[in-house]
Amino acid sequence: MTATNQSPGVSAGTDRTPHGRTLTGSLGVTAIVFMVVAAASPLTVVGGAAPLGILLGNGVGFPAMYAISAVVLLLFSVGLATMAKHVPRPGAFFTFVGYGLGRPMGLATAYLALLTYTTIQVSVYGYLGYILEVTIAGLGGLDLPWYLYALAMIGAVGILGYRHIELSSKVLGVLLVGEILIVLALVAAVVFSGGAEGLSLAPFEPANVVSGAPGVGLMFAIAAFIGFEATAIFRDEAKDPSRTIPIATYVAVIGIGIFYTLATWGLVMAWGPSEVVDVAAQDPGAMVIITTLNYLGPIGEIVINILLITSMFACVLSFHNVITRYQHSMSAAGVLPHRLGDVHHKHLSPYTSSLVQTITAGVFVIAFAVLGLDPVLQVFTWFAGVATLAIAILMAITSIAVIVYFTRKRRGVASLWHTVIAPALGLVGLVGSAVVITAYFPMLVGDVDATGVPTFGALSLSLIAVILLVPVAGYVQALLLKARDPQAYERITAAIGG
């Protein structure tokens, strides 16, 4: 494996200087799936987001939202995987959009992707800091504020992110296996015991699916998948990327969809359709731990508590790697500082980008602490909501780009199903999801009137404005480059296309 000074698309040499520009590696399907599924953070979703989806969303029908989301995202993945075969560049969303819709839209999408992954990462840092605070204090340890624990985790993630990606993939693989096994053990215990009210398909009955606030339920469900689409960002570090990336994408979305649907169905069955919402209302943060205590005993409770912490750590580590590689690709395109594209001569990692990302996360956590935000009800909930709406928009734009790209430039290179039909069906689902999420967004951040009806107040409008203005900044940057430095604008093609 070597790091070179060549630009993307140029054959690699053997230069091992400290400021190489090209990432290399030999990640296989399993390693990449571990990376992106760890970003989805299975146990964090089951233990943190699922109870909130049941409580604030559509109650008993919430598990069906994972199945619905999986179908929509699988259709989206068909176009994504096909594009990965024909556009030999890392960068995922912004690269594909650049090739399909032009450089300005590609750059706009790049900034929207950075916003998505940054907000979901810092939201989990808030939850992780809170869990560490209450867990350590409960064990008789130091009673420190959540943000100090969050900053410590940022430091640990920064150390791993500074080193080669294969180290991170091994750490994530071990943690991910533990998460999956404990959840499957819990579901098995519920099934063998017959649940609280007997086993049923009540979560998938249409009346339950559309009950309560399905838009909020859909928001939590789609948020659980964030990260699977980042398979393409690891292209330069993948073994046989034309084969590895598409397979990893399909495996990730199908596996995540089945796992979450099964796990949340088990959670509903554990308490029974008539009681599960009331149980979630009592203490959503501890719901999965109490459930595990009831079905797997004290040892199971201890194990799941530990794995809940490691699950969140795996999540932020995975998103750290995704963000650093987005920044690296944007640096290669000439739209972020040149130093962000540096590759470490020994670890072969985008180490400068990793350091910058570590500092950025630290600044956000310090800002949240100064503002006195609650780590769960505000940091986690608000910023996870921002990321969810942003990812739905991001995927919708990418679906359009796939259709346009193959219609205009690559007609005949793949079947109509892969290049038009599946992406179009995915687009319809994603646009519908974005509309529903937007309608219920005020409820997520607490902007409701006296009767509980969602109302677009200052907070919800401000957060939505950020989602809209960030990509506009990228679009404007591209236009300014085109006007002021045509040569630099042309160089964007090497990484973004257009």
The arithmetic mean of pLDDT across residues 186-201, rounded, is 95
Helices (H), 336-421: 351-371, 381-408, 416
- Could you list the residue range(s) of the whole structural domain that residue 346 is in? 29-494
Give the pLDDT of residue 162.
67
Q: Which two tokens stand for residue 197?
A: 């009210």
What's the CATH code of the domain at 463?
A: 1.20.1740.10
Q: Position 314: which residue type? A: A
Q: Which two tokens stand for residue 210?
A: 């559309």
- Whether residue 17 is contained in a domain is answered as no
- Whether residue 5 is contained in a domain is answered as no
The arithmetic mean of pLDDT across residues 315-326, rounded, is 82
Give the pLDDT of residue 23.
44
- Whether residue 351 is contained in a domain is answered as yes
Query: What distance in Å separates the CA atoms of residue 75 and residue 406, rounded to the nearest whole number?
Result: 16
Number of domains in the chain: 1
Percentage of the chain exceeding pLDDT 70: 81
Q: Bigger pLDDT: 68 or 37?
A: 68
Is the pLDDT at 207 greater than 90? The verdict is: yes
pLDDT (tens digit per residue) in 362-396: 999 999 999 999 998 889 888 988 998 999 999 99
- Whether residue 6 is contained in a domain is answered as no
Q: Which two tokens stand for residue 140?
A: 């008789």
- Whether residue 13 is contained in a domain is answered as no
Q: pLDDT-based confidence at 90, cuts 50/70/90?
A: low
Q: pTM (2 decimals)?
A: 0.81
- Whether residue 350 is contained in a domain is answered as yes
Query: What distance in Å separates the CA atoms of residue 367 and residue 53, rounded to the nearest whole number?
Result: 28
The arithmetic mean of pLDDT across residues 167-175, rounded, is 65
pLDDT (tens digit per residue) in 112-163: 988 998 998 999 999 899 889 988 887 877 889 999 999 999 999 888 876 6
- Whether residue 7 is contained in a domain is answered as no
Query: What distance in Å separates the CA atoms of residue 87 and residue 99, rounded to the nearest whole number?
Result: 8
Q: pLDDT-based confidence at 456, cuts 50/70/90?
A: confident
pLDDT (tens digit per residue) in 407-425: 887 555 678 888 899 999 9
Give the pLDDT of residue 195.
93
Question: Residue 483: helix, strand or coil by DSSP?
Answer: helix
Give the pLDDT of residue 188.
97
Q: Position 290: which residue type? A: I
- Whether residue 4 is contained in a domain is answered as no
Give the pLDDT of residue 310.
83
